[in-house]
Structure 1
Amino acid sequence: MTWLLLISSSLLLMLGVSLLLLARLEPAHRHISDWGWSHVFLAIGLALGVALVPSDTESLHYKVQATIATTCIIAALAWQLAGASRYRGRPWNWRRTSPLFAGLLLFILALAMLELRLAVVTSALVLAAGSFIAAAWLWRGGEVGERFVAGCFVALSLVQLSGPLIHPLARSIETHVAGTYVQVTLAMGLILLSVRRAHREATRMGERLSQLYEQSMQGLLVLRAGHVVYANPAALAMFGYRSIDDVGDIASRIASGEQEDFRARYVQLMEQRSGHISWEGTRYRRDGSALYLRGTSSYIEWEGAPALLVLMLDDTERQRANDAMRRQALHDDLTDLPNRHAALGRLTELTAPGTPGFALLSADVDRFQLVNESLGHETGDALLQAIAARLRAPLPPDAMLARLGEDQFLLLLPGVDSDAAAQLAGQRLLAQMNAPFTVGHRALYVHLSVGVARFPAHGLNGASLLRAADIAMHQAKQQAGAAAVTFQPGMSAGASGLLEIEQALAAAIENEEFQLDYQPKFAAGTRHLAGFEALVRWQRPGQGRVSPADFIPAAERTGQIVALGVLILRQAIGHLRAWQQQGLAVRPVAVNVSPLQFEDLGFADWLVALVHAHGLAPELVEVEITETAAMTHMERVLPQLARLREAGMGVAFDDFGTGQSSLTLLRRLPITTLKLDRSMVDPLPEPSAGAVVRAACVVAEALGLTIVAEGVETEEQAAEVERLGCTHLQGWLLGRPLRVEAAEALLTPASLKV
Structure 2
Amino acid sequence: MTWLILISASLNALLGLTLLLLWRIERRHAYVRMWGWSWILLSVGLTLGVALAEPGLVGLRYDLQALVASFSLMGSLSLQVAGARDYRGLPRGRGRGLPVFIAMMVVIVALAGIDQRFAVIAGASFLVVGAWLCAWWMGRGGDGGERFVALCFVAIGLVHASGPILDPFSRSPITHTLGLYVQMVLSLGLLLLSVRRAHAEARRQAERFEQLAHVSLQGLAVIQQHKLIYANPAAMTMFGLRDEAHVGRLDLQATIPPELQEEARERHRRVLADPAARIEWEGTRLTTDQRRLYVRSLSSHLPWDDAPAELLVMIDDSSRQKAVDALRRQALHDELTDLPNRNFAVERLRELTGHGAAPFALISADLDRFQLVNETLGHEVGDALLRAIARRLCRQLPPQAMLTRLGEDQFLVLIEETRDRAGAQAVAEQMMALLETPFAVGGTELYVHLSAGIALFPQDAADGPGLLRAADSAMHRAKGRAGAAYIFFDSAMNGATRTRLEIEQALGRAIAAREFLLEYQPKFAAGSRKLVGFEALVRWERPGLGRVPPVDFIPAAERTGQIKALGELILELAARQLRGWLQRFGRLLPVAVNVSPLQFEDAGFSARLLAGLQAQGLPHEAMEIEITETAAIGHLGRVLPQLAHLKSAGVHCALDDFGTGQSSLTMLRQLPIATVKLDRSMIDPLPEAQAAAVVSATCALGRSLGLQIVAEGVETETQARAAEALGCTQLQGYLLGRPLSAEAAGELLAGALSAV
Task: Give the TM-score of the pair, scaled to structure 2.
Answer: 0.66
Q: What amino acid does structure 1 have at the position aligned with 2:208?
A: R
Q: Which amino acid aligns with 2:467?
A: L
| Structure 1 residues 269 and 629: alpha-carbon distance in aligned structure 2, compared to 1, 3 A threshold | farther
Q: Secondary structure of 1:393's partner?
A: helix
Contact kept? 2:221, 2:228, Cα under 8 Å: yes
Q: State the distance in 2 between where 1:177 and 1:433 align.
A: 114
1:303 to 273, 290, 305: 305
How far apart, CA to CA, are the structure 2 residues paired with 1:433 and 1:629?
Answer: 39
How far did residue 150 of structure 1 move? Answer: 1.3
Q: Contact 2:333 / 2:341 at 8 angstroms: preserved in 1?
A: yes
**Alpha-carbon offset, residue 426 of structure 1:** 3.6
| Secondary structure in 2 matching 1:404 | strand
Per-residue deviation, 1:489: 2.8
What is the CA deviation profile of residues 259-287 of structure 1, one whole-angstrom value per residue up to 9, with x for unaligned ones? Answer: 33444445555666774555544433222
Per-residue CA shift, 1:221-262, capped at 9, x if unaligned? 444554433333333333322245542542233322333344
Cα-to-partner distance string for 1:76-132 (whole Å, 9 max, x where unaligned): 111111111111122325355223322332233233334444443333333222222
Distance 1:296 1:255, change over 3 A: same
Specify whether residues 358 and 183 from structure 1 end up closer, same or farther in structure 2 by C-alpha distance, changes over 3 A only: closer
Change (3 A) 1:484 1:66: same
Within a 5 Å distance, the mapping from 1:218-367 to structure 2 comes to 218-246=218-246, 247-266=249-268, 275=277, 278-297=280-299, 300-305=302-307, 307-347=309-349, 358-367=360-369
Listed as ranges, the matches of 1:426-575 within 5 Å are 426-434=428-436, 437-440=439-442, 446-455=448-457, 457-459=459-461, 461-498=463-500, 515-517=512-514
Which residues in structure 2 correspond to 1:385-424 (within 5 Å)?
385-413=387-415, 419=421, 422-423=424-425
C-alpha displacement of 1:355: 7.5
The alpha carbon displacement at 1:488 in A equals: 2.6
Task: Give the Cα–Cα distance (whole angstroms) in 2 for the partners of residues 484 and 379 of structure 1.
Answer: 26
* Matched letter for residue 20 of structure 2: L
- Compare CA radii of gyration and give the structure with the larger one: 2
Mapped contact 1:226–1:250 kept (Cα < 8 A): yes
What is the aligned partner in structure 2 of residue 151 from structure 1? 151
SS of alignment partner, residue 491 of structure 2: coil
Matches of 2:204 and 2:412 in 1, distance apart?
A: 67
On the 8 A contact 1:163/1:170 being kept in 2, the answer is: yes
SS of 2:149's equivalent in the other structure is helix
The one-letter code of the counterpart of 1:45 is: G
Mapped contact 1:45–1:72 kept (Cα < 8 A): yes
Map residues 66-215 of structure 1 onto 2, 5 A cutoff: 66-92=66-92, 94-215=94-215
Give the secondary structure class of the aligned counterpart of 2:196: helix
In structure 2, the CA distance between the partners of 1:63 and 1:498, relative to structure 1 (3 Å rule), is: farther
Matched with 1:216 is: 216
Distance apart, 1:487 and its partner CA? 2.0
The one-letter code matched in structure 1 to 2:407 is: G
**Structure 1 104/627 Cα, relative in aligned 2: closer, same or farther at 3 Å?**
farther
Contact 2:451 / 2:484 at 8 angstroms: preserved in 1?
Answer: yes
CA deviation profile, 1:614-649 (whole Å, cap 9, x unmatched): xxxxxxxxxxxx9759989xxxxxxxxxxxxxxxxx
Contact 2:294 2:321 in 1 (8 A): yes
Deviation string, structure 1 residues 391-426 (Cα, Å, up to 9, x no partner): 333212222111112321012345766656645644
Change beyond 3 A, Cα 1:200–1:548: farther
Structure 1 distance, partners of 2:390, 2:220, is 48
Instruction: Give secondary structure in 1 for the equivalent of 2:293.
Output: strand
- Aligned partners of 1:146 and 1:162: how far apart in 2? 24
* CA 369–109 in structure 1, closer or farther in 2 if over 3 Å, else same: farther
The CA deviation string for residues 9-66 of structure 1, in whole angstroms up to 9 with x for no partner, is: 1111111111111111111111100111111111111221122114344422222122
Contact 1:12 1:184 (8 Å CA) reproduced: yes
Rounded Cα–Cα distance in structure 2 between residues aligned with 1:83 and 1:144: 19
CA distance in 1: counterparts of 2:432 and 2:510, whole angstroms: 44
2:583 matched residue in structure 1? none
Q: Aligned letter for 1:240?
A: G
Asked whether the equivalents of residues 454 and 486 of structure 2 are also in contact (C-alpha less than 8 Å), the reply is: yes
Kindly state the Cα deviation for residue 301 of structure 1 after the two structures are TM-superposed.
Answer: 4.5
1:27 maps to a residue whose letter is R
- Amino acid across the alignment from 2:409: D
Distance 1:679 1:178 in 2: 145
Shift of 1:202: 1.2
AA aligned opposite 2:148: F
- Summarize the alignment of residues 23-38 of structure 1 with structure 2, pairs less than 5 Å apart: 23-38=23-38
Q: Deviation digits for residues 431-467 of structure 1, max 9, x if unmatched?
A: 5445555554566554432212344553455444322
Deviation at 1:7, TM superposition (A): 1.5
Q: Distance in 1 between matches of 2:656 and 2:503?
A: 35
CA 1:381 to 1:691, structure 2 compared with 1: closer, same or farther past 3 Å? Answer: closer
Unaligned segments of structure 1, at least 5 residues: 521-534, 569-625, 633-653, 668-672, 696-731, 734-754
- Displacement of 1:294 in angstroms is 4.1
Residue 4 (structure 2) aligns with: 4
Q: Classify 1:83/1:265 alpha carbon distance in 2 versus 1 (closer, same or farther; 3 Å).
A: same
Q: Is the 1:357–1:455 contact (alpha carbons within 8 Å) kept by the matching residues of 2?
A: yes
Change (3 A) 1:216 1:548: farther
Q: Deviations over 1:503-562 (max 9, x none)?
A: x88xx99xx999555999xxxxxxxxxxxxxx9x9988x7689899979988999xxx89
The separation in 2 between residues aligned to 1:630 and 1:445, in whole angstroms, is 35
User: Counterparts of 2:38 and 2:415 in 1: how far apart (Å)?
Assistant: 90
Q: 1:143 to 1:518 in 2, by over 3 A?
A: same
2:282·2:295 contact (CA, 8 Å) conserved in 1? Answer: yes
* Distance (Å, rounded) in 1 between the aligned partners of 2:558 and 2:168: 119
Counterpart residue type for residue 253 of structure 1: T
Paired residue type of 2:11:
L
From the superposition, tell whether residues 201 and 400 of structure 1 become closer, same or farther in structure 2 (CA, over 3 Å).
same
Instruction: Letter of the 1:83 partner, please give it.
Output: G
Per-residue displacement from partner, 1:139-169 (whole Å, max 9, x unpaired)?
Answer: 2221111111112222222333343344444
Q: Structure 1 residues 175, 248: CA separation in 2 closer, same or farther (over 3 Å shift)?
A: same
In the alignment, the residues of structure 2 paired with residue 438 and residue 406 of structure 1 have an alpha-carbon distance, to the nearest angstrom, of 20
Q: Deviations over 1:550-587 (max 9, x none)?
A: 79988999xxx89x99xx9xxxxxxxxxxxxxxxxxxx
Moved more, 99-108 or 263-272: 263-272
Please tell me whether the aligned partners of residues 266 and 308 of structure 1 are also in contact (alpha carbons under 8 angstroms): yes
Q: Is the 8 A contact 2:331 2:343 kept in 1?
A: yes
User: Which runs of 5 or more residues in structure 2 are unaligned?
Assistant: 518-537, 566-595, 603-624, 658-666, 675-740, 743-756
Contact 1:514/1:538 (<8 A) preserved: no
1:386 alignment partner AA: A
Task: Identify the residue that residue 39 of structure 2 maps to in structure 1.
Answer: 39
Pair 1:467–1:78, CA change in 2 (3 A): same
Q: Quick check: 1:229–1:244 contact (8 Å CA) kept in 2?
A: no
Contact 1:513 1:538 in 2 (8 A): no
1:313-344 deviation per Cα after TM superposition (whole angstroms, max 9, x unaligned): 43433443343333333211221111223334
Question: 1:196: how far off?
Answer: 0.7
Could you tell me the TM-score, scaled by structure 1's length? 0.66
**Distance (whole Å) between structure 1 residues aligned to residue 554 and residue 105 of structure 2:** 105
Partner amino acid, structure 1, of 2:145: G
Specify the code of the residue in structure 1 equivalent to 2:343: H
For 1:544 and 1:519, the matched residues in 2 are separated by 12
Aligned to 2:712: none
- The amino acid across from 2:183 in the alignment is Q
